[in-house]
Amino acid sequence: MSIQNHLEIAVKKAFVEIFKIEIPSVEFQATRKEFEGDITIVVFAFLKYVKGNPVQIGTQIGEYLKEHVDLVTNFNVVKGFLNVSINPSFFLDSFYTMYATKNYGTLAPTPTDKAVMVEYSSPNTNKPLHLGHVRNNLLGFSVAEIIAASGKKVYKTQIINDRGIHICKSMLAWQKFGNGETPENTGLKGDKLVGNYYVAFDKAYKEEINVLLAEGKTEEEAKKQAPILLEAQDMLRKWEAGDEEVVNLWKTMNQWVYDGFAVSYKNLGVTFDKNYYESNTYLLGKDCVTEGLEKGVFYQKEDGSVWIDLTDEGLDEKLVLRGDGTSVYITQDIGTAIQRFQEFDINALTYTVGNEQDYHFKVLFLILKKLGYSWAENMYHLSYGMVDLPTGKMKSREGTVVDADDLMAEMVKTAGEISQELGKLEGYSTEQKEALYKIIGMGALKYYILKVDPKKRILFDPKESIDFNGNTGPFIQYTYARIQSILRKADFDYSEKQTISISEKELSVIKTLQQFPETIQLAAKNHSPALIANYSYDLVKEYNSFYQSSYILGCENNAVKIFRTQLSAQVGETIKSAFNLLGIDVPERM
């Protein structure tokens, strides 16, 4: 039983005996470093049940705990917070419970609970993945893994934007300028080849605009009348009409892109349980609009267009169906959401999409609630900030994006250069070195991105991310590898429980280890891999502080030597478990 479980039972009993009332729950926090104590009880939360001075209430509860609960050795009250000190023997006993059960914080899915779906990536098939997609994929995949570790069944999915005018732009440019180029005869990944033609279209489009401007057209007229744009629009109409030649080209070029994406996803280490395609879903949602009209959720204007008025909710009026009966994006999203809840036994859906779409998802969730879907309460927009570079903002049409494949290759290359400079690769074969460089480079990339709160913008500096000191992936990976070295050298049995007195440094490591299960639950609730990443760093800092000041294999006291080896092993497995939730590998040697 955890400290929280012990204390919650005792605090509830204290309220019955002292205040003659029952309380439903107790809120805990980690004790702030400037105060004495191991765990904090939030007294302010009790004021809804009992009136009085929070310091006095906290003191009464603290005195009760100290008198009636063996594991409580002392307490102090700061304003509305009761800081409780725990008997070190409890931490030692709980450590051995963790060690014996190999509990690294993750829970198996509860059979009775419905599953959760997490959507991420959702690229367009007119260009390769770029740095923005990297953050999206890493966030979505990690959040899915964290929610699964918290005890939920999770489905990972993406919707691929494989239709529309932007797709036709690449297709048309390939027809005009491609000269039969394919991934096979050029050696290019298919997504890169198609992306080149998206850039080629934009170049030709701008040239035509300049010609029209020189002829006296206004900028607006020139942009609308450029011949290449009119051709792309005509191609889209043919695609929607099922023109065989256009559809076959669309299938061919999209397959090039899918094959290219598959390579990028494998290198990035992300997977999906289900792929949706916009070409199959773009007509969904129209029936829901008809249903919403009948219910009075939507209203129709004289031109036949259908709208929803959300001004009472602080938003505005939103179009859900055009006057000609064609869908808008939100129509499709309504239909797709309903389809997913019908297709899978889920009761929650998380969308990993940049913060420029915050308004869109507010509207989507509100519409689904108004349509009467109870599960709409459990829909979540994992909104994240932009990824910036020292060189500035990326632009897809101009070909100035940071390509995901190029970035990953550069990270691995940089990891190799730094590792060689440090000179710790004696005895490694070429294959072992290359594998290690990939683990370090990709670990650096993932950790640097995931350690930042999703809502914040990131200024990504590749060199800084591969520093072997500080709050970086390689620093944590190095500690894991150091622990594995200790365990390889341990030529004795360290499986049995030891009866010893533990030091303050050892106690700090154990306390941090015990925070991991709670950190997983908190990270799942907040959809924040940053909590797992920064927990990993805190654990490594505590362990390294212990390591610097304590003999492990060289300790003369055999019981203490065994315990410290056990403690090291538990830290190593917890690092590995935490990094698995971030999609990061750990090296056995480094």
Largest CA distance in the chain: 92
Distance CA 228, CA 527 (A): 44
Q: Is residue 551 predicted with pLDDT exceeding 60?
A: yes
Q: What pLDDT band is residue 218 in, cutting at 50, 70 and 90?
A: very high
Residue where the block lists tokens 């059979």: 111
Q: What is the mean pLDDT of residues 429-452?
A: 95
Q: What pLDDT band is residue 489 in, cutting at 50, 70 and 90?
A: very high
pLDDT of 462 reads 78
In a domain, 154, yes or no: yes
For 510, phi then psi, to 5°, come to -60, -45
Neighbours of 396 (CB within 10 A): 18
In a domain, 588, yes or no: no
In a domain, 273, yes or no: yes
Q: What pLDDT band is residue 397 in, cutting at 50, 70 and 90?
A: very low
Say what percent of the chain tops pLDDT 70: 98
Q: Is residue 111 predicted with pLDDT exceeding 80?
A: no
Q: Is residue 526 predicted with pLDDT exceeding 80?
A: yes
With 0-12 CB in 10 A as exposed, 13-18 as middle and 19+ as buried, what is 470? exposed
What is the rounded average pLDDT for all residues in the chain? 93
Q: Going by C-beta distance under 8 Å and a sequence separation of 6 or more, which residues neighbour residue 391? A: none
Instruction: Locate 81 and state its tokens.
Output: 């917070």
In a domain, 183, yes or no: yes
Distance CA 504, CA 538 (A): 16
CATH code of the domain in which 66 resides? 3.30.1360.70
pLDDT of 191 reads 97
Q: Is residue 50 predicted with pLDDT exceeding 50?
A: yes
Q: Is residue 54 predicted with pLDDT exceeding 60?
A: yes
Say what percent of the chain tops pLDDT 90: 85
DSSP assigned state of 392: B
Whether residue 311 is found in the same domain as residue 164: no
In a domain, 336, yes or no: yes
In a domain, 409, yes or no: no
Distance CA 547, CA 558 (A): 17
Whether residue 175 is found in the same domain as residue 321: no
Whether residue 15 is found in the same domain as residue 141: no
Q: Which domain holds residue 294?
A: 286-326
Q: What is the mean pLDDT of residues 129-158?
A: 96
Q: Is residue 36 predicted with pLDDT exceeding 90?
A: yes
Q: What pLDDT band is residue 425 in, cutting at 50, 70 and 90?
A: confident
Q: What pLDDT band is residue 338 in, cutting at 50, 70 and 90?
A: very high
Distance CA 26, CA 446 (A): 36
Q: What is the mean pLDDT of residues 156-165?
A: 95
Whether residue 68 is found in the same domain as residue 10: yes
Distance CA 475, CA 43 (A): 38
**75, 38 in Cβ contact below 8 A?**
no
For the chain, the straight-line distance linking the first and the last C-alpha, in angstroms and rounded, comes to: 37
Q: How far is CA 269 from each of CA 412, 541, 578, rounded to the nearest angstrom?
A: 14, 27, 16
Confirm whether pTM is higher than 0.75.
Answer: yes
